[in-house]
Structure 1
Amino acid sequence: MSVQQLIETDRAFNEMAQREGTGKAFIAYAAEDPVLIRPGQMPLLGRGPFVEAFSQVKGAVLAWEPLRADIARSEDLGYTFGRYQVRENGAVTAHGVYVSIWKKQPDGSWKFVLDGGGATPEEVRAP
């Protein structure tokens, strides 16, 4: 497994969000017991609460771009981090950075086990 393949997984995750909606994509790419770090709130823990929360996501469009990734020597755990934008009615209303921790699944696919991010005062430039 190459680092590039993990970046491509994160890009495919974003592409699904653009085509089918943020909620659907987050549910599809989350592992069985995901953790979502939410600024100013307790983390969202577990598949049930995660699916419930993301089933209700509508309106704003979240788009992101992975900027860097790495995987463990064991090739079963990795991370991506990058930048994101939120758009409402075509206008950018927020931007920030994110990190996702990915775990290789028994079928060979990658699902995130932890995701979190935070807003930045201005758009983050690629390193």
Structure 2
Amino acid sequence: MTTQLYTRAAMVVALLAATACASAPQAGAGADRKAALDGLLAADRAFASASAWTDLVSGISAMFAADVVMPLPNGTFAESAEAATAAMRENPANATARAEWAPVRGGISADGQHGFTFGYMTVRQADGTSTPAKYLAYWVRQPAGWRVAVYRRARRPEGEVSTALLPPALPDRLVPPSANRAAVEAHRASLDAAERAFSDESQTIGLGAAFAKWGSDDAMNIGRGATFTLGATAIGAAIGEGSPGPSQVSWAPDRVIIASSGDLGVTIGRIRQNTPPADASAPSSFPFFTIWRRPTPTSPWRYVAE
């Protein structure tokens, strides 16, 4: 990869991301909800377009916020752009691979400052081989434009998928961002409590039933197949398969990121086995993050992507 291509990639990122940021309507100014989401999708696509000109690590890390959180294969979290970038560089193949992706769904908060996207990715190696993948990203709008605050990508089996956009996750209306710290903290506490209640209920009704109950009708689970698992009922059936009875794992958030409008947020934490594994060398916990939304700041939280 020549210096000229790296420069071109950087210019594409800067130009397209800036354009997406500038063209995205400001919440509370009579802006159209879909147009606000289109700004986020345009930013995701702009980073994807720029990634085609550079290596996988440079392409993906370009969209990271400074404090991005990313689960790692070793069962820990990278909790900064520097740490996440270093983790991706640990795989030598990433230095010459390229990542291309396309979002298939997006959602945005009522204040227009938080959002999420998920979609399909292809990692192309220098030897011409390719690996299909999926990704899920939670975005926060910053002075420089949309940046990813929480990110996950996973390999997926070969199989036909559609990159047609799914129906968007839109708020009922847009509102101005709130500077009321007490109200924002109350929203954060309510989401923290919802995640804990989700885990608590799984201890009695089982994982499958809990995932069916606590998800929205349009929820997404990244799943193990070629495509995403869509809908709380389907997610519950997939997760509950082979796991009858009360859940054998529990979880709780260690961190909650919340939109000031109180209708969209993400919980970040660890899933722990209720009984320590017999093999002391086996991991007893795993990282997770879950994106939640609700129609209004007083409605019940339901997960929408995880």
Residues 27-66 of structure 1: matches in 2 within 5 Å? 27-38=212-223, 42-58=227-243, 61-66=248-253
Matched ranges for 1:101-112 at <5 A:
101-105=291-295, 108-112=299-303
Moved more, 74-83 or 48-57: 48-57
Once the two structures are TM-superposed, the CA of residue 45 in structure 1 deviates from its matched residue by 1.9
Of structures 1 and 2, the one scoring higher in RCO (CA 8 A, sep 6+) is 1
More strand by share: 1
Q: Residue 78 of structure 2 corresponds to which residue in structure 1?
A: none
Please state how far the C-alpha of 1:5 moved relative to its aligned partner.
1.1
How many matched pairs?
A: 113
Determine helix, strand or coil for the equivalent of 1:85. strand
Q: Which residue of 42, 52, 69 maps to 2:256?
A: 69
Tell me the TM-score normalised to structure 2 length. 0.33
Q: Check whether the contact 1:105–1:111 (CA below 8 A) recurs between aligned residues.
A: no
Rg larger for: 2
SS of the equivalent of 1:2 reads helix
Local SS of the residue matching 1:35: strand
Q: Do the aligned partners of 2:192 and 2:253 also contact (CA within 8 Å) in 1?
A: yes
Q: How does 1:1-127 map to 2 (within 5 A)?
A: 1-38=186-223, 42-58=227-243, 61-86=248-273, 90-92=275-277, 94-105=284-295, 108-115=299-306
Structure 2 stretches lacking a partner, 5+ long: 1-185
Higher deviation after alignment, 68-77 or 51-60: 51-60
Instruction: Report the CA distance between 1:109 and its aligned residue.
Output: 0.4
- Cα deviation, residue 4, structure 1: 1.0
Aligned CA RMSD, in angstroms, stands at: 2.4
Stretch moving more, 47-56 or 70-79: 47-56
Q: CA deviation at 1:9?
A: 0.5
Q: Which runs of 5+ in 1 are unaligned?
A: 116-127
